[in-house]
Amino acid sequence: MSQILIPILIVGGMGILFGGILGVASKIFAVKVDERVPQILEILPGANCGNCGFAGCSAYANALCAGGVKTNLCPACSGDTSEKIAEILGVKADESEKMVARVRCSGSTENAALKYIYDGPCDCHSAAKLGGGEKLCSFACLGFGSCVKACRFDAISVNDGVAVIDEEKCVGCGGCVKECPKNVIALMPAKSKYAVACQSAEKGKFTRQNCQVGCIGCGICAKNCPKDAITVENNIAVINQEKCVGCGICASKCPRKIIKLYK
Amino acid sequence: MISELLIISVGAILINNFVLVQFLGICPFLGVSKKVETASGMGFAVVFVMLCASALTWVVQQYLLIPFNLEYMQTIAFILVIAVLVQFVEMFLQKSIPSLYNSLGVYLPLITTNCAVLGVALQNISKFGGTEMSFLKSVVYGGSAGLGFTLSIVLFAGVRERLETADVPEFLKGMPIVLITAALLSIAFLGFSGLSFN
């Protein structure tokens, strides 16, 4: 009996003694943790995407409490979050505009012509290294879903060879923009309605050969825009979202139906 | 007496260096050796823990475990002592040197499971070199083992800082070249095994 009891008593006694010492030490060496940090952490999305420029959400929260950091750096947060953070910190909120990522390509398997059949690993970076991908158009979305894997908010899917972004889920962090080897995805203000779903800088003749829907840079949209918000640069129509009022005339006049209404 | 302590000390620092000769405590050795500054911080944290652990475990062994015939509880009892010490160091660093605390990160609590610390405690009581270790010798051995750890990790961090700018072949970049460097350093320390005190 004592063979079991003595070890239990001795080791248990050591444990209690050490616990007591540590308890006292923790009082002496107590560090005040800024109580605003956990509050801010609760508001931040917690995806640790790092697009605010800090190592993660908690690093950003710490930097915010230390002061001198803007409250609108989180690209995944809406304007209210910036205000909430400012309220906790007791400072004035910095304006932030919500952005969404949009795919500037409509070259689905039906629309885009192929150069060859790609049979390699299902990864855009690998596909892009083989002659720029299987689609004839060198600006096209490859559709192997590297952006799907990069998205931390589950907002992207690949539909019929082209990435599709769910704008309800997209927070505009820009993770997919960095990942895409073809630079197909771009961030745009979430309130903008119309955008050109193509980025082909080829001359119209070649774009026609490569794809059934690509922008040929004809300029009809630019001529018809009442606000002069559209220009054709490098054979592609570009909508200036600051001037655009969302009337939709360009979309109805476009012979290729490549200017699309979002939302 | 003093010459005996000196021999123990030199032996622990150079000849039986814990990291490079006995291969104990490799985890922090590879993990915290990117910068000389954090490496030396880690080194001195380990010196402190080893020193205190040697003293405390010797007392625990001599006055608790041996009288009650509980030598088989060594590992548990020693780990308990080491864990308390590490917690204590952690609290102290967080309070007084927060920058060092942040740069050590997860490796600080990992000293608890650093086998070098348990190793020094176990070697102290295992009749090292055929003779029973006295309290003083245990403490000297523990402190020297920590200094040996610091020496090797600081040397290694210096080499790694140079490696940052070196033109390393693509397939060796990152951990592989680090491991090769550690091996070369270990071979260099093998040279000390010829040291004789007669």
A142 and A75 inside one domain: no
The CATH number that applies at residue A228 is 3.30.70.20
Shortest Cα distance from A58 to chain B (angstroms)?
13
Residue of A nearest to B63 (CA): A10
- Look up residue B111 and give its DSSP letter: G
CA–CA gap between residue A133 and residue A176 (Å, rounded): 18
The CATH number of residue A66's host domain is 1.10.15.40
Neighbour count for residue A161 (Cβ, 10 Å) = 20
Longest dimension (CA), chain B: 60
Residues A232 and A256 in one domain: yes
Say yes or no: A260 and A230 in one domain: yes
Stated length of chain A: 263
Closest CA to B33 of B103, B94, B92, B85: B103
Tell me if B88 and A22 make a contact (CB, 8 A cut-off).
yes
Does any CB of chain A come closer than 8 Å to the CB of residue B93?
no
In sequence order, the 6+-apart residues with CB closer than 8 A to the CB of A242 are none
> Residue B104 has what DSSP assignment?
H
Shortest Cα distance, chain B CAs vs residue A121, angstroms? 22
Tokens describing residue A192: 């903008």
Structural domain contains residue A23: no
| Cα–Cα dist A127/A118, whole Å | 7
CA-wise closest residue to B34 among B117, B165, B145, B157 = B157
Contact across the interface for A11 and B73, Cβ inside 8 Å:
yes
A2 within a domain of the structure (yes/no): no
Residue A43 lies in a domain: yes
Q: In chain A, what residues touch B91 (CB-CB under 8 Å)?
A: 22, 25-26, 29
Q: How many CB pairs under 8 A join A and B?
A: 42
Q: Are residues A182 and A238 in the same domain?
A: no
- Contact call for A6 and B81, based on CB within 8 A: no
Of A139, A162, A190, which one is at a domain's C-terminal end? Answer: A190
Alpha-carbon distance of A62 to A41, in angstroms, equals 9
Is the domain of A54 the same as that of A136?
no
C-alpha distance from residue A145 to each of A151, A157, A168 (Å): 10, 7, 19
- Digit-coded pLDDT (tens) for B82-97: 888 888 888 888 888 8
Tokens representing residue A224 in the block: 């018809």
Domain boundary residue among A143, A163, A190? A190
Residues A196 and A175 in one domain: no
Domain shared by A185 and A111, yes or no: yes
Q: What is the DSSP string of chain A?
A: -HHHHHHHHHHHHHHHHHHHHHHHHHHHT--PPPTHHHHHHHHS------TTSSSSHHHHHHHHHHSSS-TT--TTS-HHHHHHHHHHHTSPPPP---EEEEE-----TTTBPBSS---S-S-HHHHHHTTT-SBSSTTS---S-HHHHH-TTS-EEEETTEEEE-TTT-----HHHHH-TT--EEEEETT--EEES----S-HHHHHHHBSS------HHHHH-TT--EEEETTEEEE-TTT-----HHHHH-TT--EEE--
> Do A14 and B68 lie within an 8 Å CB cutoff?
no
Q: How many domains does chain A have?
A: 3
**Residue range(s) defining the domain that contains residue A156:** 98-190
Confidence (pLDDT) at B128:
55
Which H helix or E strand runs over B182? helix B175-190
Q: How far apart are CA A52 and CA A174, in angstroms?
A: 11
CA angle (A156 as vertex; A151, A162 as ends), nearest 5: 125
Q: To probe the interface with B, which of A2, A17, A18 has the most B CB atoms within 10 Å?
A: A18
- Domain assignment of residue A164, yes or no: yes
Q: Is residue A228 part of a domain?
A: yes
**pTM to 2 decimals?**
0.56
Give the minimum alpha-carbon distance from B123 to chain A in angstroms, rounded to a whole number.
21
How many angstroms separate the CA of residue B37 from the nearest CA in chain A? 21
For tokens 């095994």, name the residue: B193
Query: In angstroms, what CA-CA distances link A79 with A83, A99, B194?
Result: 6, 11, 70
pLDDT in tens, chain A (263 residues): 788 888 898 889 999 999 999 999 888 887 777 788 888 888 888 777 777 777 778 888 888 888 777 787 887 776 677 788 888 888 777 766 778 899 999 988 888 989 999 988 889 999 999 888 899 999 999 999 999 988 888 899 998 889 999 988 888 888 899 889 999 999 888 888 899 999 998 888 899 989 989 899 898 998 998 888 899 988 899 898 888 888 889 989 999 889 988 87
pLDDT higher than 70, residue B164: yes
| pLDDT reported for residue B197 | 67
In a domain? residue A85: yes
Residue in B60, B73, B94 nearest the CB of A31: B94
d(CA B21, CA B140): 19
* Residue contact A21–B77, C-beta within 8 A: no
Instruction: Evaluate whether residue A206 is within a structural domain.
Output: yes
pLDDT tens string B120-159: 888 887 755 556 678 888 899 999 999 999 999 999 999 9
Query: In this structure, are A184 and A152 located in the same domain?
Result: yes
Based on the fold, state whether residues A103 and A179 are members of the same structural domain: yes
The pLDDT assigned to B95 comes to 83
Residues A219 and A178 in one domain: no
Q: Would you call A11 and B77 a contact, using CB atoms and an 8 Å cutoff?
A: yes
Q: Nearest-CA distance from A128 to chain B in Å?
A: 22
**Is the pLDDT assigned to residue B188 strictly greater than 80?**
yes
Residues A157 and A198 in one domain: no
Report if residue A231 sits inside a domain: yes
- Kindly tell me if the per-residue pLDDT of B24 is higher than 60: yes
Residues 6 or more apart whose Cβ sits within 8 Å of residue A195? A102, A104, A188, A239, A259, A260, A262
**Looking at the structure, do residues A111 and A85 belong to the same domain, yes or no?**
no
